[in-house]
Structure 1
């Protein structure tokens, strides 16, 4: 499991409603960033439910530059699809992570199989228009361009779901 053993000082990008809080070790401190005030309010409720100490901030992540080597773990789940420049966001995440820390991602992107990939490419403009989400991004290329050290990249569900562990 991607979030198993996540503890300490955690930064979660696009925290949403705090769905990952249940997986963090007790005693952890979470800084959660999101553009949506409504989602942050739900995350506050989740933090109370899971007894997570949370500092939740409304931020435009497309312009966020990160915080210098502050966090043990930096987490992103299913959000890189929405950013104008996902490479810049990964770089900001790496800037925020301690040098011996971990960057953890669960993202979706272009399938490694031809037929699903063709469908993703065809549907992407429609999906982006209605959902604000690109479904055809090449996550392998994005991570290569970001300069982070990828420790592992596993792909699931026709190669569409990426589970990635990296270091700054």
Structure 2
């Protein structure tokens, strides 16, 4: 009887968590649809001063021919792709993708296939990509470990994961402030600034090959491979 009740409770808990995750995913999609018209403007200063340099640094390590970009957004990474790659670029938000399509018209030789898709439920074949790349994305995925596990599933066994991410600082004062401010940043931009992303990557079945601090210990360049 105890085992039966325990099983029932676990199924109910799993069902409740699934519904909560779906609700959060819908909320995330709606938020990015809403802010997509001003997204590039909102980040323009950071893009010019820091982000573009960090993207270039990350994309120096990209190897194909098959690439998965998670959270392509408005297409900010398009200028950094070397020629000759076959890119599947996904995003949860149709609003963001519509802007990416307009930018893609400026790169007629690029082989980039834009698809609306949730990284937590990838409609892609197992073991089909040489490299997966994401820039400032897993801070906004409702279940980041689930999303990272899906990325691991579709990577080839010898594949590589390349990430730019902002993460929760280990410095006590910064850590406290980031935890305090995270609900506000989520509401405004959809970004959780209290994520322990390196730990999440490991939990999803990757081993970390490189972890480089780009700004304090908050913005990191991360290279990982499936275990």
Detail structure 1 runs of 4+ shifted over 6 Å in the superposition: none
- Name the one with the larger strand percent: 1
Which consecutive residues of structure 2, in runs of 5 or more, have no partner in the other structure?
A: 1-56
Higher relative contact order (CA 8 A, sep 6+): 1
What is the DSSP-based 3-state SS (H/G/I as helix, E as strand, rest coil) of the residue aligned with 1:81? coil
- 2:142 aligned with 1:75, yes or no? no
Match of 2:43 in 1: none
RMSD: 1.6
Q: Alpha-carbon deviation of 1:66?
A: 4.9
Residues in 2 aligned to 1:35 and 1:159: alpha-carbon distance in whole angstroms: 28
The DSSP-based 3-state class of the residue aligned with 2:90 is strand
Structure 1 unmatched runs, 5+: none
Q: Deviations over 1:103-149 (max 9, x none)?
A: 10101110122221111011111221222221011122212211112
2:85 to 24, 28, 39: 28
Aligned to 2:18: none
1:60 to 112, 118, 129: 118
Partners of 1:140 and 1:58 in 2: how far apart? Answer: 26
1:105 pairs with one of 157, 163, 170: 163
1:66–1:93 Cα contact (<8 Å) kept = no
Q: TM-score, normalised by structure 1?
A: 0.92
**2:124 is aligned with 1:43:** no
Helix, strand or coil: the match of 1:82?
coil
Cα deviation digits, residues 13-59 of structure 1 (max 9, x gap): 01111111211111211101111222212222333323311111111
Q: Which has the larger radius of gyration?
A: 2
Give the number of aligned pairs.
Answer: 168
Greater helix content: 2
